[in-house]
Amino acid sequence: AASFTLAGQNNYTGDTTVSAGKLSLSGESNIEKSGNVRLNRDAALDISATTNGAMVNNLTGDEGSHVVLGDRLLTVNSLADSVFSGEISGNGSLIKKGQGDMTLDGINSYQGITRIDQGNLRINSDQSLGGGNKNNSDLIMNGGGLKIFGSFASDRDVYFNADGEISVDKDMSSSWNKIHTGDYKFTKSGEGELIVRNGGDASEISLMNGALTLINLNMNSEKQDALLNVNNGVLNIIGGDVSAKNDLIHITGDSTINLENVSIKSSGNGMRLSDNVQSTLSLRNQYTDMPIL
């Protein structure tokens, strides 16, 4: 197949379509001013020879298309919703920018991190986020959201550099190794189930609907807001240490709360229910006394 290389600065603003063969970028070359970037089946975009990686707008690709990172960073600016069904490979990393949703529904093998700065990244498998090992392929929530429309287990950790939301579609279940929210708020939405298997740390969690299971997660909040806000759904907390300066759990919608082997310390109310809320609380094994208002 034919190969074409761009080695200089490019200022064209039209779309870039690779119908067949390979388009390579070299040195300081970029196509970030181009409109949509589309890869047809068996076509490739290669940024491995660039100096600092590349930014592309609205990346779309058919099954069988290919983006070659090498050791470089690919930044995708999603100005509108887009779907990439091909493979992203190499040792590099992926950053998602722009307010549109970007869907990755292919099997990717890139080894680096995935960072979501803006908009939503939609995935249906762990391999959507590449094939790297746990030490260098974590997911970083940096202001954007993650939408999950498949069932799978991941060994990755999820780090929050800003408030972030993870949504799981109805009838889907997704489990992850650990979460680390720092001082930021983690929101779980969608009617599906999200599981954190091996702990981590958190300071504020909001469950909008669906199910959220937290196993051996250490939760500590000095905030005035409640540590756990449950609007609707099922919250399971198994093991771990939980402490809050103010209310531990604030329930604003019909919900089920299951606590098992949890060490709880709360300077405020253990659990506070809004008016006209019907909820079920289940306590098993060791826990501290919690006032319920």
What average pLDDT score do residues 255-271 get? 77
Asked whether the CA dihedral 54, 33, 164, 171 is positive or negative, the reply is negative
Tell me the C-alpha distance between 116 and 22, whole Å.
Answer: 27
Q: What is the pTM assigned to this prediction?
A: 0.93
pLDDT digits over 117-170, tens only?
A: 999 999 999 999 999 766 678 999 999 999 999 999 999 999 999 999 999 999
37-59 b/e (C-beta count within 10 Å ≥ 16 → b)? bbbbebbbbbbbebeebbbbbbb
Run of H or E residues at 192: none
Instruction: Look at residue 113 and tell me whether its pLDDT is greater than 70.
Output: yes
The tally of CA atoms less than 13 A away on the side-chain side of residue 117 is 10
Q: How far apart are the first and last CA of the chain?
A: 70
Task: Say what the pLDDT of residue 293 is.
Answer: 47
Task: Say what the pLDDT of residue 45 is.
Answer: 98
